[in-house]
Amino acid sequence: MRLKFTKMHGLGNDFVMVDGITQRVKLSPEKVRQIADRHTGIGCDQLLLVEAPRNPDVDFRYRIYNADGSEVENCGNGARCFARFVRDRRLTSKEHILVETAAGILELKVQEKDQVSVDMGAPVLEPSAVPFQADIQAESYPLDVNGETYNVGAVSMGNPHAVLLVDDVSKAPVDSLGAAIESHPRFPARVNVGFLQIEERGKARLRVFERGVGETRACGTGACAAMVSARLRGLVDDEVQIALPGGTLTIHWPGPGEPVTMTGPTASVYHGQIVL
């Protein structure tokens, strides 16, 4: 199979974008791993597949594969790149794009200077729906990990997130603790793990260990989940600039029951073909 693709990134969170509308695409977990391998393939955090929608009221279907070949529900940085990709490929000329995902409908708005805003929908806080094992809903939960107890927020932005507050994100044990929490039995679908440092009510710093990937330079849903968790704890206002290793996202959330809006840049790196 000869596959045309575009390499893109959002704040260094990098993607292989594949047009499944104008070319035939059949992907297996093995093929996704082959593409994502940074030594023998193209290399990426996720592969994003554009398909025709099954829902007649939306413009596209958007599927997301992690580097390990697993299919996941949502990816905020990927959603922004998706919006630019379908316009660059002339699959649409719309600036307001509705996209079907495994987590529901996303609303994408293309702005000036390669900025894209994404209506990420309302966060899910009910533990069983995250999913997270807890008797009642709370702002944070004690979690025992390797003999230590950590307080974590549990939020779903279409995919599950655990959020830990840290004093200095540069010193946080992202690899070791992130991996331990990712596979914690209280998160039955595994979990993305965010390490959040609050600088002031409108500014924060974040590093994210993504399930099936490891630490990435940016995670859009992770930034949304971190902001929601911090706001539930009364630590931030309704708009926060969140600095990740790859750059800064603006996250806006009025409060429970309301959608989260994420705004940030996109970049197209190169186009190519790969034979699988």
Amino acid letter, residue 273 = Q
Report helix, strand and coil shares of the chain as percent, to nearest 5.
20, 40, 40
Check if the beta carbon of residue 36 is closer than 8 Å to that of residue 16: yes
Residue 73, pLDDT score: 86
- pLDDT digit string (tens) for 133-157? 999 999 999 999 999 999 999 999 9
Structure tokens at 44: 């990426």
Residue 273: pLDDT band with limits 50, 70, 90: very high
C-alpha triplet 266, 251, 253: angle, nearest 5°: 145
CA–CA dist 101, 82 (Å, integer)? 12
Check if the beta carbon of residue 188 is closer than 8 Å to that of residue 131: yes
Q: What is the pTM of this model?
A: 0.86
CA–CA dist 195, 193 (Å, integer)? 7
116 pLDDT above the threshold of 90? yes
Residue 1, pLDDT score: 86
Residue 104, pLDDT score: 86
- pLDDT digit string (tens) for 82-115? 999 999 999 999 999 999 998 888 899 999 877 9
- pLDDT digit string (tens) for 38-56? 999 999 999 999 999 999 9
Which candidate in 44, 75, 81, 224 is catalytic? 75
Q: Is 219 a catalytic residue?
A: yes
Sign of CA dihedral 16, 83, 111, 156: negative
Check if the beta carbon of residue 99 is closer than 8 Å to that of residue 79: yes
CA–CA dist 69, 32 (Å, integer)? 5
Strand partners, 192: 161
Could you list the beta-strand ranges (E) of 73-182: 96-101, 104-110, 115-119, 141-145, 148-156, 160-165
CA–CA dist 151, 163 (Å, integer)? 8
- For the segment 255-271, the average pLDDT, to the nearest whole number, is 95
213 pLDDT above the threshold of 90? no
Residue 212, pLDDT score: 86
Residue 268, pLDDT score: 94
Residue 271, pLDDT score: 97
